Amino acid sequence: MPLLNTRGLRWWHRFAGTLVAIQLLLWLLTGIYFNLTPHDQLKGMAYHCGHEMPSQKLPLSTFALVEPSQLLASYPNTERVSLTLLAGKPHYLLTHQQRRYLHQCQQQTLLDAQTGAVAHIDKLLAMTLASDTYMGPGTAFAATQVAGQASEWPKQCNLLWRVDFDDALQTRVYLDASSGQLVGHKNSDTDIADWMFRLHFMDYFNQGSFNNPFTWLFSLMSLLLVGSGLLSISDNCQRQRYRR
């Protein structure tokens, strides 16, 4: 059996080892960061009031509501009807195709529960709903619509409202533009945390997923490191470099 090209083998072994070592070091540093940083800071919960949706228990006796059956005649493809309170007014949210996750593209219609008319989340209402989820010292001063798969929410498919608050953390509150449902809070703490998650999961393309080309590359480099190491051991045995 011919001897291997040890120079090329060692070069590949060192190259693969360097790449793997860099990522292992990043895992170590980001893992330490995650363990030392409070969960609320990682999730942007500093000024979050604890509500997942800007809603509360509905005092049904206070409102004269349209019967859902009357509305469903105009929306026969509806799979789910939910009643929620937005800015003190009851609304029906019709879901036309049930999705497993909220970040997936939703097919929904928001209706005024008192009149049955189609309701829209405009700028003023978005700022009001965002303020309902906020308990910080600032006030909402701007609201802009953000297309799906924004940099801060790479998995989000739906159109969003982004509401900015004038506090020290630069809080941004994101709402679903169709339903008014809270997507989440972001601030200067989450800016750092998002980068740490990106480094930890090798999500350098910001896809919001661990299954990405850099993960595949790391797996390939790990296999190359192990394979070149085994071949190097075999070559050393053939050259009788090991002594008792």
DSSP letters, 48-80, are B-S-SSS-----GGGS-PPPHHHHHTT-TT--E
Q: Is the pTM of this model over 0.75?
A: yes
**Beta strand pairing status for 140-146 and 107-112?**
unpaired
Q: What does the pLDDT read at residue 59? A: 64
Identify the bridge partners of residue 144 per DSSP, sorted by sequence position.
Answer: 162
Q: What does the pLDDT read at residue 169? A: 95
Only one residue has tokens 């020290």, namely 168
Go through the chain and tell me how many residues it has.
244
Dihedral angle sign, alpha carbons of residues 178, 183, 187, 192: negative
For residue range 186-244, what is the model confidence (pLDDT) as tens digits?
A: 999 999 999 999 899 888 877 777 788 888 888 888 888 888 778 777 767 777 666 66
Confidence category of residue 1, pLDDT binned at 50, 70, 90 = very low
